[in-house]
A and B are shown apart, each in its own frame.
Chain A
């Protein structure tokens, strides 16, 4: 469990970083928090010849809360965002999701943007980005572009970034004040990747205490995070006595879990439905205990 030889470069600016990536000619990898990449290197499942370590690049560590969105720089740690009061006030779903990401020691190092680019289907933040319809801004030596959430996640552990591109920030759009969110998941142990999970957004008419719309993105039971619209099943229902049967049935059809050593596909499908029902109730009633 020692990595094969690689060259480590530590750029100070975005320009230097993307130049190093370009020069690596497809054999470079960005090193952010290292919580996913370093295990892959140690197990010799990845063997990049150059690691472009962006931890020292200036200007990427900001969390910006605007009227429209929360914008998170590439070196912002999970824990920074989790503890950011303004971000939490603007978009509670960020913290709701982040507390499920691994353990504090891993959140202290792992980055939000790294998690998105890594595109693990069991990760929480990709699901959140899709739920909110956010995007990631990427830069290469000769180009810069913005990739929408739906276009970002191509396959398990595969995002649409090119090897010479650096993601500089992620933008999580804010929701209407009448939209509530919740995240529910069940992992084997606290902090593990979930066997099944879900994040939901429920639009409410607070005066009448009814639901006007609802969306969900599942965690760990689809190849890539996919938005499931549940408005048809839930619109018009009372917030405090939701009947989620139709929504759960629709969702269970929409997902495609697989067997692994921790759980069968059938159990995951069942579990996803249970988590959805609970998350919808949380969001509809404004419960925050998930």
Chain B
């Protein structure tokens, strides 16, 4: 029997291609395509008075210039609201090209097509747009004040207002022995994948067929959106996400204006057209996330047991709200983390501002939620003079209490119910891993040397693998190679490897004989997309189901051909063979040939296969009623609700007493995503997440000034951490609590690494310097001023 691959850290199949520069990204595909440049608004809020293209017309190599007025009627409509919600009472979405008004710096106004991007930018430079300035709404507080409005016709800047409650939070807080209230803010940041957005369209006028390549997390949805807006049949449009150089959420948004404009231009111009976003454009026109102002009120008892929480927050969703309320709803629910909280009220307002729209970024509302809950736990511990892990421990949901029903509604509209977990064990493991119990001694010793050390921890629960469904297709080629397809796309996570591991196990074939294709709508047209840590759970299970169909069919064919009871057959080494007598069996490739009654003997295998064919019954059709030719299977996996992964992080930092610079000494992660398909890949996901979390906690922010100008729209000033800023020793321990909800018992792992970072760093810095850290991210300059204001212990030689 071949060793089981599920659970093995096998090397990634995609790495050779990606690491040797042989990856195929959208911009690699299209050297002869004409290129698009977009004239974007330099103002945060303005009416467009006039657009004058005269000076651009004599730019060499210019092909076409289009404004909103040139578009067909269907394209003149606002882009779709992807996820409506009853509480979203004032939704606004953007136009593919501005229709008279711009609402953020970077909003698309004019599309220029030229033979090269250089020429397109030259022409774009010469297009004059006259504006009438409107007062910009920047910042959550300004938006909440409502004295200036983003969308004139609305009474205020509130797009949605939602309250959810379980139990009676007010009564519980009022009756509690201790209460506290405080405010905890998180600033805006963004996904910033290395590959920016890109879309490339090939229009075949003879066939009336449009092929689209997009750097997207949801190719089938892009296809559906484009077909709908261009008024084409779905079958005449295909969309492929080739290699995608990172997404982190921003590429789940669809359709982008350019995803509609580029294919439309290709059809009207009769030529390949592409758009490759540049970095500056990415900062000001691809979506952001995270900005929230959060107020909390908590009641608790002498042991630190949380009795009631009232959580009110303002969510900044930018100029438009195409993705609905997903992010604030996730914050509202996932706030509860691993804790048994019965009296809880949450209320949010989602506000318009004249800034780039907000849609999910890895973690999607959870980093803010965890920041709120975990800071709350720390504050309760501080108030009671208890160890921070004690207060958490006393509030944890216990392993025998699952499924745990909170009585709230999650982002997918389903019950917010945890399927499984073991939080107390996770906490114990983390304490061991980071040396929690010994830290006080270490901190005191360091302090004697004038060094400021601090430790923080944070826990999270993450709803992963949201529905509605994902599909898998598995086909055994007559060569014996196994072709696997699923519709969601990959951004480098290692899908090709883990899906191949699953199939190789089911069919007993070599990993190298399994080829996985993701993100091609012509290979799997029903699909949802890569987000919410759902690829392994959704496509993994769908592919396992499909592979099992193939296995059953192969078993039936082999049993008939060998005249052996199926129970006596096994799959190994690419064969279906008799248990205990490995020489009696049929290779899968021969079964693939056998499965097709049209058996022209193209080669010797096919000729050999004929001798195994069951004698044909002249009175029955060659393909039975319940059968199909071919050794293939398709299946879909659709869960009732999400499965909940969990974990805890801890960090030890050192704060320079003079400069307030923060150095990371140790970072520890305990992570539970159910059964691990490939531990190395999960570790990689955690590492990447922690790196991104370091960025979010200590470096990255969207620095809008009061005019709505983004002052750091480049990698010079948007401080994505380098390798040198990410801790090189991240200690990771895995806990495996299988999910009862899906056949493979797995939970998602993609986002977890980034979720607790704001909380864990704030806690550690607070522990080091002894003053509350209630807003993140934090820079040395900010920390310096906080310490000055708090009159913190004087520095050793800085003479502040």
Chain A, Cβ-Cβ closest to B277: A1
Flag whether A134 is at the interface (Cβ < 8 A): no
List chain A residues, Cβ under 8 A from B800: 270
State which of A52-60, A75-83, A271-279 sits at the interface with chain B: A271-279
Flag whether A261 is at the interface (Cβ < 8 A): yes
State which of B296-304, B488-496, B626-634, B716-724 sits at the interface with chain A: B716-724
Chain B, Cβ-Cβ closest to A245: B799
Contact with B along A181-200 (1 / 0, CB 8 A): 00000101111100100000
B724–A274 contact, CB under 8 A? no
Flag whether A46 is at the interface (Cβ < 8 A): no
Chain B, Cβ-Cβ closest to A252: B799
B118–A271 contact, CB under 8 A? no
B722–A274 contact, CB under 8 A? no
A189–B699 contact, CB under 8 A? yes
Chain A, Cβ-Cβ closest to B120: A2
Contact with B along A236-247 (1 / 0, CB 8 A): 000000001100
Chain A, Cβ-Cβ closest to B704: A261
Q: Which of B764-800 contact A (CB under 8 A)?
A: 779-781, 784-785, 795, 797-800
Contact with A along B704-745 (1 / 0, CB 8 A): 000000011000110101101100000000000000000000
Give the Cβ gap from A220 to chain B, nearest Cβ, in Å: 13
Q: Which of A76-125 contact B (CB under 8 A)?
A: 103
Bound together, the chains give a CA A15 to CA B798 distance in angstroms of 52
A1–B784 contact, CB under 8 A? no
A1–B798 contact, CB under 8 A? no
Chain A, Cβ-Cβ closest to B795: A274
Cβ 8 A contact of B781, one of A44, A195, A249: A195
Flag whether B121 is at the interface (Cβ < 8 A): yes
Give the Cβ gap from A156 to chain B, nearest Cβ, in Å: 16
Give the Cβ gap from B309 to chain A, nearest Cβ, in Å: 34
Give the Cβ gap from B33 to chain A, nearest Cβ, in Å: 15
Flag whether B125 is at the interface (Cβ < 8 A): yes
Cβ 8 A contact of A244, one of B280, B795, B797: B797
Bound together, the chains give a CA A189 to CA B779 distance in angstroms of 11
Chain B, Cβ-Cβ closest to A186: B659
Flag whether B87 is at the interface (Cβ < 8 A): no
Give the Cβ gap from B194 to chain A, nearest Cβ, in Å: 15
B799–A186 contact, CB under 8 A? no
Bound together, the chains give a CA A274 to CA B798 distance in angstroms of 5
A261–B717 contact, CB under 8 A? yes
Bound together, the chains give a CA A78 to CA B280 distance in angstroms of 28
Contact with A along B93-136 (1 / 0, CB 8 A): 00000000000000000000000011001100100000000000
B721–A267 contact, CB under 8 A? no
Flag whether A248 is at the interface (Cβ < 8 A): yes
Bound together, the chains give a CA A256 to CA B251 distance in angstroms of 44
Give the Cβ gap from B105 to chain A, nearest Cβ, in Å: 15
Give the Cβ gap from B671 to chain A, nearest Cβ, in Å: 27
Flag whether B12 is at the interface (Cβ < 8 A): no
Flag whether B703 is at the interface (Cβ < 8 A): yes
Flag whether B658 is at the interface (Cβ < 8 A): yes
Bound together, the chains give a CA A248 to CA B785 distance in angstroms of 19
Chain B, Cβ-Cβ closest to A277: B797
Give the Cβ gap from A200 to chain B, nearest Cβ, in Å: 15
Chain B, Cβ-Cβ closest to A190: B724
List chain B residues, Cβ under 8 A from A268: 781
Q: Which of B672-725 contact A (CB under 8 A)?
A: 699, 703, 711-712, 716-717, 719, 721-722, 724-725
Bound together, the chains give a CA A44 to CA B121 distance in angstroms of 10
Q: Which of A1-26 contact B (CB under 8 A)?
A: 1-5
* Known contacts A1-B280, A43-B280; A274/B797 CB under 8 A: yes
B781–A277 contact, CB under 8 A? no
Contact-residue bracket for chain A: 20 to 34
Number of interface residues of B (CB under 8 A): 32
Give the Cβ gap from A43 to chain B, nearest Cβ, in Å: 7
A248–B722 contact, CB under 8 A? no
Cβ 8 A contact of B724, one of A2, A189, A273, A278: A189
Bound together, the chains give a CA A3 to CA B117 distance in angstroms of 10
List chain A residues, Cβ under 8 A from B795: 274
Cβ 8 A contact of B658, one of A1, A189, A190, A274: A274
Bound together, the chains give a CA A261 to CA B719 distance in angstroms of 11
Flag whether A262 is at the interface (Cβ < 8 A): yes
Chain A, Cβ-Cβ closest to B118: A2
Contact with A along B481-517 (1 / 0, CB 8 A): 0000000000000000000000000000000000000
List chain A residues, Cβ under 8 A from B125: 4, 44
B797–A189 contact, CB under 8 A? no
Bound together, the chains give a CA A103 to CA B725 distance in angstroms of 13
Flag whether B278 is at the interface (Cβ < 8 A): yes
B797–A2 contact, CB under 8 A? no
List chain A residues, Cβ under 8 A from B118: 2-3, 5
Flag whether A263 is at the interface (Cβ < 8 A): yes
Flag whether A264 is at the interface (Cβ < 8 A): yes
Cβ 8 A contact of B122, one of A4, A192, A264: A4
B798–A190 contact, CB under 8 A? no
A186–B798 contact, CB under 8 A? no
A267–B781 contact, CB under 8 A? yes
* Known contacts A273-B798, A273-B799, A277-B797; A261/B711 CB under 8 A: yes
Flag whether B211 is at the interface (Cβ < 8 A): no
Bound together, the chains give a CA A274 to CA B122 distance in angstroms of 47
List chain A residues, Cβ under 8 A from B440: none
List chain B residues, Cβ under 8 A from A190: 722, 724-725
Given A3-B118, A190-B725, A266-B785, 7 more A-B residue pairs with CB atoms under 8 Å apart are: A5-B122, A189-B721, A195-B781, A249-B799, A261-B703, A271-B659, A277-B798
Could you list 25 A-B pairs, sorted by A, with CB under 8 Å?
A: A1-B279, A2-B118, A2-B121, A4-B121, A5-B122, A39-B716, A186-B780, A188-B719, A189-B699, A189-B721, A189-B725, A191-B724, A261-B703, A261-B712, A262-B719, A262-B779, A262-B781, A263-B780, A266-B785, A267-B780, A270-B798, A271-B780, A273-B799, A274-B658, A278-B797
A: residues with CB less than 8 A from B are 1-5, 39, 43-44, 103, 186, 188-192, 195, 244-245, 248-249, 261-264, 266-268, 270-271, 273-274, 277-278
